[in-house]
Amino acid sequence: MKLVETYLRELSDIRRSGAAVPETSYYGALGNLLNEIGKTLKPKVRCIINLQNRGAGLPDGGLFTPDQFQKASDVEPQQGQPPSRGVIEAKPTSNDAWLTSDGKQVSRYWGKYRQVLVTNFRDFVLVGQDAAGQPAKMETFRLAASETAFWGAAAQPRKMADEVGERFVEYLKRVMLHAAPLAAPEDVAWFLASYARDARLRIEQRPDLPALVSVRESLEEALGLKFSSHKGEHFFRSTLIQTLFYGIFSAWVLWHKETAGRGRFEWVGALCGAGDSHATARTNSSWRSTITPANSPPQNLFLRI
């Protein structure tokens, strides 16, 4: 992942220069990363660093879509336009992003913009809103467990990018598309595909997950074959992920047809049967422990249509 490698290298080079201040010196690297990823999205998303005070303080950045600019070549959005994909609150790598996300400043930003990406350049916390319209931590991502571990890993940017780069980019894509309405099957399919890629990478990095043993045995018995060797194991895990996420997508399509898109789609209830709360809880627990990345769980996959 060249984008992530470049981001880490820029941060490391800035720090090694000895001329940096703990926070603002790294804004450029973060902005460059978000802009490069934003170019690949539909619609594209542009990051602008250091926003004006519109009554809630000075956000460190904002995420805008093309419709907010008079012309595509414009540097600044149209006057008075709030960032449609939320604002950014950045702190030094020594800070705790989770504590920052609970602070008064982020609360003020959330009250104004309804979506805040909180980061210390190594941890990322997306603060959005729950079904009741209240602030809630949505998805999170952690590049390293501590500041020391992060700077140590950033000193070898290619290695770290190879290990977590693809999942990190998928996470940032979802952050920048989080506020987009899911009004068409292709929109839902994109998000599910992103989560599926994330899940596939996660379980491929854990070759000894006990929770998969019984699933593999049942599938082997049903299909009358054995998943052996590295290729067989890869095929099993890829097939498992595809089956699970295609199941969710199929359930959404059926729900959308039956309800005309009214209300909210609950993937656990749709797959397991809403009347069996014990089965739902068991499946939800199994899914979280087996599939969902530990450092960036979607708290519940509710698709707002």
**Total count of residues recorded for the chain:** 305
Instruction: Give the best-scoring range by mean pLDDT among 72-86, 245-259, 276-290.
Output: 245-259
208-244 pLDDT tens trace: 778 788 888 888 888 888 888 888 888 888 888 888 8
Q: What is the pLDDT of residue 272?
A: 64
Question: Considering the chain, what is the average pLDDT of its residues?
Answer: 83
pLDDT in tens, 100-159: 999 999 999 999 999 999 999 999 999 998 878 899 999 999 999 999 999 999 999 999
Q: Which residues of 153-186 are buried (b: 16+ CB within 10 A; e: fewer)?
A: bbeebeebbebbbbbbbbbbbbbbbbbbebeeee
CB 255 within 8 A of CB 245: no
Domains of the chain: 2-177 (3.90.1570), 185-304 (no CATH)
Q: Which residues contact 192 (CB under 8 A, 6 or more apart)?
A: 245, 248, 249
Q: Which residue has the higher pLDDT, 34 or 255?
A: 34
Give residue-wise pLDDT tens across range 236-254. Answer: 888 888 888 888 888 888 8
The dihedral through the CA atoms of 219, 224, 227, 232 has a sign that is negative
Q: Which two tokens stand for residue 230?
A: 């590295």
What's the pLDDT at 181?
A: 57
Concatenated DSSP letters for 9-24?
Answer: HHHHHHHHTS---TTG
Q: Report the percent of the chain where pLDDT is more than 90.
A: 47
